[in-house]
Amino acid sequence: MTADRIAVLAEVQEALHEGRAVVALESTIISHGMPYPTNVAMATEVEAIVRANGAVPATIAVLDGVCRVGLEADQLELLATHPAVHKATTRDLPWLLATRRHGATTVAATMRIAALADIEVFATGGIGGVHRGGALTFDVSADLAEFAVTPVAVVSAGIKSILDIGLTLEHLETLGVPVIVDGSDDFPSFYSRVSGFAAPRRLDGAEEIAAFMHAAWGPLQLTTGISVANPIPLADEIPAAQIEGVIAEALAELDRRGIVGQDVTPFLLGRIVEQTDGRSLTANVALVRNNAALAARIAVAFADLG
Ligand code: PSU
Ligand code: MN
């Protein structure tokens, strides 16, 4: 990409140049995943957590048609408040660049821009996947297609049960994408440490995960991403039974309103926050914090491998 369409913040550029740890962060979670002002507070705090764990944060978005890798405080504020920030997956990026618009990048688009900037580790809340009923609607997040082709390790709290977790795991297996759970034999479901599905592969700690990344992308020359699931801390967990009713109600409302396409996920996320009086939001912030810390430790361990 030509230099005028991708702008890497000086601090991030320096760290990359010196082979120091950098962690990418997404922006759809800011613009379309959480309400203001929790979103900007979360984004700011998460950057500080990445730093406290020894890495440099690089929040990614598109502003005025330029891919930004690392943002200033006023740019985070814009993403958290501006009405004309488009939710952008990878296929939307050419439009944003060509027409000089603002875009909040999903997991897929963030992975793509991170890879262009040579960043290997990325922290988020939850990844997209196969929606419930996806076998009929074909509603499968473009995040999965991106995992198949972009070598970035994405630390999430697993998959929110607005999605079909079983079908998502099957789809990732078909695409040849490694799915790791840190420190647990269960695959987590975002608000909950369990999902009813086993961890496809368990590793324990940042060093083991960094060694896995090195094996995958070094000697084996795999070209896929790696999904690293990090269970929500016990104290912040919302038991699956408590959130299931809220999710069912949100899905029914989605049907009634006939919402489809890229509005589906933001609608469901918003409904869940409303229907749990913000309890889900508190849990969401807690798990993003937890993911940022693990991602930073992984980035440090991976940088140490040279
Ligand atoms: N899941 C969450 N929170 C989020 C998202 C997913 O629990 O904020 C966002 C991420 O940016 C993810 C995107 O990449 O939604 C997926 O959207 P879609 O289902 O339209 O692909
Ligand atoms: Mn979709």
Mutate to test the pocket of ligand 1, among 60, 107, 259 (most ligand atoms within 8 A of CB): 107
Distance (angstroms) between ligand 2 centre and the Cα of 242 equals: 25
Would you place residue 150 in the very low, low, confident or very high pLDDT band (cuts 50, 70, 90)?
A: very high
**Nearest-angstrom CA–CA distance, 131 and 65:** 30
Would you place residue 240 in the very low, low, confident or very high pLDDT band (cuts 50, 70, 90)?
A: confident
Its domain, for residue 120, covers 3-304
Catalytic residue check, 170: no
**Nearest-angstrom CA–CA distance, 168 and 299:** 26
Structure-token pair, residue 42: 């979360």
Render pLDDT for 20-50 as a digit per residue (tens, 0 to 9).
999 999 999 999 999 999 999 999 999 999 9
**Nearest-angstrom CA–CA distance, 280 and 130:** 21
Q: Whose CA is nearest to atom 20 of ligand 1?
A: 262
- Which ligand places an atom closest to the C-alpha of 142? 1
Residue type, 190: F
Residues with CB under 5 A from ligand 2 (ion): 139
- Section 152-165 average pLDDT: 97
Residue type, 26: E
- Distance set, CA 39 to CA 69, 182, 281, 287 (Å): 18, 26, 10, 14
> Does ligand 1 lie within 6 Å of residue 129's CB atom?
no
Task: Report the 10 Å Cβ neighbour count for 181.
Answer: 24
Would you place residue 57 in the very low, low, confident or very high pLDDT band (cuts 50, 70, 90)?
A: very high
Hey, is 47 helix, strand or coil? Answer: helix
Distance (angstroms) between ligand 1 centre and the Cα of 265 equals: 6
Residue 92: give its domain's CATH number. Answer: 3.40.1790.10
- The total number of structural domains in the chain stands at 1
- Which ligand places an atom closest to the C-alpha of 247? 1
Main-chain phi, psi angles of 230, to 5 degrees? -120, 105
Mutate to test the pocket of ligand 1, among 127, 243, 273 (most ligand atoms within 8 A of CB): 127
Please give the pLDDT value at position 305.
97
> Does ligand 1 lie within 6 Å of residue 26's CB atom?
yes
Mutate to test the pocket of ligand 1, among 25, 26, 27, 28 (most ligand atoms within 8 A of CB): 28
Would you place residue 4 in the very low, low, confident or very high pLDDT band (cuts 50, 70, 90)?
A: confident
pLDDT exceeding 70 applies to what percent of the chain? Answer: 99
> Does ligand 1 lie within 6 Å of residue 161's CB atom?
no
Q: Going by C-beta distance under 8 Å and a sequence separation of 6 or more, which residues neighbour residue 219?
A: none
Would you place residue 2 in the very low, low, confident or very high pLDDT band (cuts 50, 70, 90)?
A: low
- Section 265-289 average pLDDT: 94
Catalytic residue check, 11: no
Of the candidates 77, 120, 146, 160, the residue annotated as catalytic is 160
Of the candidates 26, 47, 77, 237, the residue annotated as catalytic is 26
- Section 223-246 average pLDDT: 95
- Which ligand places an atom closest to the C-alpha of 159? 1
**Nearest-angstrom CA–CA distance, 267 and 239:** 22
Position with higher pLDDT, 135 vs 277: 135
Distance (angstroms) between ligand 1 centre and the Cα of 253 equals: 18
Share the mean pLDDT of the chain: 97
- Section 61-85 average pLDDT: 98
- Section 100-129 average pLDDT: 98
Q: Going by C-beta distance under 8 Å and a sequence separation of 6 or more, which residues neighbour residue 195?
A: 158, 159, 161, 165, 186, 187, 188, 189, 240
Look up the pTM and report it: 0.98
Would you place residue 213 in the very low, low, confident or very high pLDDT band (cuts 50, 70, 90)?
A: very high
**Nearest-angstrom CA–CA distance, 23 and 228:** 14
Instruction: List b or e across 13-27, with b for residues whose CB sees 16 or more CB atoms inside 10 angstroms.
Output: bebbeeeebbbbbbb
Strand segments (E) across 26-163: 56-63, 66-69, 85-88, 102-105, 121-123, 153-156
> Does ligand 1 lie within 6 Å of residue 265's CB atom?
yes
Main-chain phi, psi angles of 118, to 5 degrees? 65, 35
Q: Whose CA is nearest to atom 1 of ligand 1?
A: 126
Task: Assess whether pLDDT exceeds 80 at residue 3.
Answer: no
